[in-house]
Amino acid sequence: MNESTLRIQVPTWLLLVFLTTFNACERGNPFGRGDDTIRRSSRIHLLPSEVQRLPVESCIESVTDSASLRIVGTVLPNEALGIDQDEISPTDWIPTRLTDVASFPTGLAVIDGGEATVTVFSSDLTERRTWSRRGQGPGELQHPVAIAPTPTGDTLWVLDDGSLKLVAFDLEGNYLTAIQLPVRSGPPIDLAIDSEGRFFLAYAVAHDGVVQNPDHFGLVVAVHNPDGSPSHDLVRVQPEDLQPPRFVLPRVSDVRLAAFGDQVAVLYPEAGVTDIYRNDVLQTTVRVCMTRKLEDAYDLQREVVAEKNIQAQIAIHLITDVQIGSDGTISVVSGIKDKDMRYHVDKFTADGQPTGSIVYRAQGTTIPFELRFGRTSNELTGFEGRGRILAFDLETR
């Protein structure tokens, strides 16, 4: 298939969103997860220099325990291993832009938005299997942005915002089926699957049909039945409602989803807020500590963008994943250190009350900014867009 054919078949909504965001980010829409600690989106104009000085620092309200870090496995991109391009073999893993990671009972699944591939690793990252490629045929992807396992862990669903499809594979890489999603006025951001097999999809959508103006973008978390047919909207936020505490930026930004049995969590990473729903009803909201400097920096950014009509914003992710234990205990995590150079996992009761943080240090290892929980809150995987993956456990003392 040639390039002209590909261009003709680009979805209309994607062209409209591209007009809105221009050079939004390397991932292809302004809601991506890249290599930078500070996330930039909608870079049509540069922000004034004083607004770009975000303090990259988290904070801790109380410490309940400390932990040591035990590295389970590491994957490095080829450039870190010193492999020249002319020495790369067909069996080498050559990531260009990792966009999401998901754990399942026997391993780890990774999607590369740059290469349009899916890679499954063993739990210790020593074995891997890669499949798919960029294309429009069965099992091919265009721009995968998120991946989620089914509750049984034997099927992986990939959210492809290039084709606007959900694509299913088994753990051996065999293509199973695909579901065509309805066209919305903005890109899908993330995916989660609950115990009933329902799909939860987060979208940044244009309201009132004004897709050229980012001030008219809001948020929708849509629920789809197990067969992929649309059911209803769980969350629907109008542009005028993009206010703190959930929305600390001038415009809609990154949103993450996670599912645990019949509970679904909606994460607002920049704000450090997580809403947990059960049976489509909001049950609990947890919020991590935000430094006063960061809060002031966000306030200044909102004021400057509003006054000067600048279509740009920058942020850091105070949370990147959530875990709900069998006892209802809620854990959240990110790769941002506090002022004492400590990483931390923050704990909450089932009704959202903070119970303290488990802290740990990197011990000579660089922790990626994007962290995901494994089967428990003590199992973590970090990844960087350029291909580095780090799996580690926390062992409390």
Q: What is the pLDDT of residues 77-129, one digit of tens each?
A: 754 444 444 544 445 566 778 999 999 988 999 999 988 999 999 989 988 89
pLDDT at 50 over 70: no
| Mean pLDDT, rounded, for 156-179 | 96
**How far apart, in Å, are the Cα atoms of 394 and each of 49, 63, 258?**
38, 15, 21
Q: How would you classify residue 309: left for phi > 0, otherwise alpha for psi between -120 and 50, otherwise beta?
A: left
Integer distance in angstroms from the first to the last C-alpha of the chain?
57
308: which DSSP letter? H
Rg, the chain, Cα only: 20
For residue 282, what pLDDT band results from cuts at 50, 70 and 90? very high
pLDDT at 81: 41
Q: CA torsion sign, 34 to 39 to 42 to 43?
A: negative
**pTM exceeds cut of 0.75:** yes
**Number of alpha helices (DSSP H) and beta strands (DSSP E) in the chain:** 4, 26
pLDDT at 8: 31
User: Can the peptide bond before residue 245 be classed as cis, meaning omega within 30 degrees of 0?
Assistant: yes
For residue 289, what pLDDT band results from cuts at 50, 70 and 90? very high
pLDDT at 24: 32
Q: What domains, with CATH codes, occur in the chain?
A: 3-396 (2.120.10.30)
Q: CA torsion sign, 304 to 305 to 307 to 309?
A: positive
Between 5-9, 106-110, 284-288, the lowest mean confidence (pLDDT) is in 5-9
Q: CA torsion sign, 33 to 36 to 39 to 42?
A: negative
**323-333 tens-digit pLDDT:** 999 899 999 99
DSSP string, 192-232: EE-TT--EEEEEEEESTT-TT-GGGEEEEEEEE-TTS-EEE
**H/E segment holding residue 314:** strand 313-315
